[in-house]
Structure 1
Amino acid sequence: MRFHTRKWVKPEDLNPNGTLFGGQLLAWIDEEAALYTVVQLENNKVVTKYMSEINFMSKAVKGDIIEIGMEVQKFGRSSITLNCEVRNMRTRETIITVDNIIMVNLDEHGNPKPHGKTKIEFVKDRLNN
C-alpha cells in the first residue's frame, strides 16, 4: 500500500465525542480516490461509482496526522477498482479500511469511456518517454 496523502486532524474535523468525524474521513477518502484515478487514467472527468463496506478500526483525535493509502485492485474497461487504508502516521494503527472503491472514467458528455489502461503508471515514468 502506498500512502500518498496526509491530513492533520483539526478541531473542525471532530464529532461531539472529540474524535474524527467519519463523514469527514470518507470525504477525504473519496477525494483521494478521485485524485489517484485522475493521475492514473490521465482524465479529469471521473466519478465514484461504488464504495464497499467500510471498517472503522480505531479513532483519530485532534492533532493526529493521518495517512491515506490507495492501491489498484484491477483495471476495468472504463473503471478502476481501488482499495484504501487510512492509518495514524505516528502509531501506524489502521483507522479505517475500504475494500473496494470503483471509479469510472467519463467522456465529455458524462458517459463511461474506455481508458485503455492495464497497469499502474507512475508520473516519473511518463516523463521519461
Structure 2
Amino acid sequence: MRFLSRRLVMPNDLNFAGSLFGGRILEWIDEEAYIFAACQLDAKSLVTKHIGAISFETSAYQGDVVEFGLGVKQVGRSSVTLTCVVRNKQTKQNICVADDIVFVHIDPASRQPQPHGKTKEELESIKIETPE
C-alpha cells in the first residue's frame, strides 16, 4: 500500500459531533482514488463505477492530518479496482477503509467503456514518489 497524499481536517470537514464527516471522507476517497487510477493508467477518461465495502474504524478531528494509502487490487480490460486506506498520519490508526473501488476507462466521445491497455503487473511496477 502506497500512502500518497495527505489532507488537513478543517472546521468545515466536521460533523455535528466535532469529528470528520463521513460524507467528506468519502468525497476525498473518490477524488484520491481517481487521481491514483488516472496516474496509474495514464488516462483521464475514467468514471467511478462502484465503491464496495466501507468501514469506519476510528474518528479524525480538527487539526488531524490524514493520509491516503492506495493499491491496485484487480485490473480488467477497461477497469481497475482499488483499495483505499485512510489513516491518521500521527497515530497511524486506520480511520476508514474503502474496498473494491472500481473505475472504468471510457471513450470521451461515446462515453462507452474502452480498453486501457494495462496489466496488473505493469501497474505494480510503476514507481510513484511518496511524500516525505
Alpha-carbon distance in structure 2 between the residues aligned to 1:123 and 1:85: 17
Among 119, 123, 127, the alignment partner of 1:122 is: 127
Q: Deviations over 1:5-63 (max 9, x none)?
A: 10000000000000000000000000011111111111111011000010000000000
Q: Structure 1: where are the runs of 5+ without partners?
A: 125-129
Q: Structure 2: where are the runs of 5+ without partners?
A: none
Q: Deviations over 1:67-125 (max 9, x none)?
A: 0111001110000000010000000000011121011111122111001100212368x
Which residues in structure 2 correspond to 1:17-96 (within 5 Å)? 17-96=17-96
- Hey, which bits of structure 1, 4+ residues long, moved more than 6 A? none
Alpha-carbon distance in structure 1 between the residues aligned to 2:42 and 2:92: 31
3-state secondary structure, aligned to 1:95: strand
| Percent of pairs with identical residues | 45
What TM-score do you get using the length of structure 1 for normalisation?
0.92
Give the paired residue count.
124
RMSD of aligned alpha carbons:
1.2
Alpha-carbon distance in structure 1 between the residues aligned to 2:52 and 2:128: 28
Alpha-carbon distance in structure 2 between the residues aligned to 1:49 and 1:59: 27
What TM-score do you get using the length of structure 2 for normalisation?
0.90
Alpha-carbon distance in structure 2 between the residues aligned to 1:10 and 1:26: 15
Alpha-carbon distance in structure 2 between the residues aligned to 1:7 and 1:82: 20
Alpha-carbon distance in structure 2 between the residues aligned to 1:43 and 1:123: 16
Amino acid across the alignment from 1:122? K
Alpha-carbon distance in structure 2 between the residues aligned to 1:50 and 1:38: 16
Alpha-carbon distance in structure 2 between the residues aligned to 1:122 and 1:99: 22
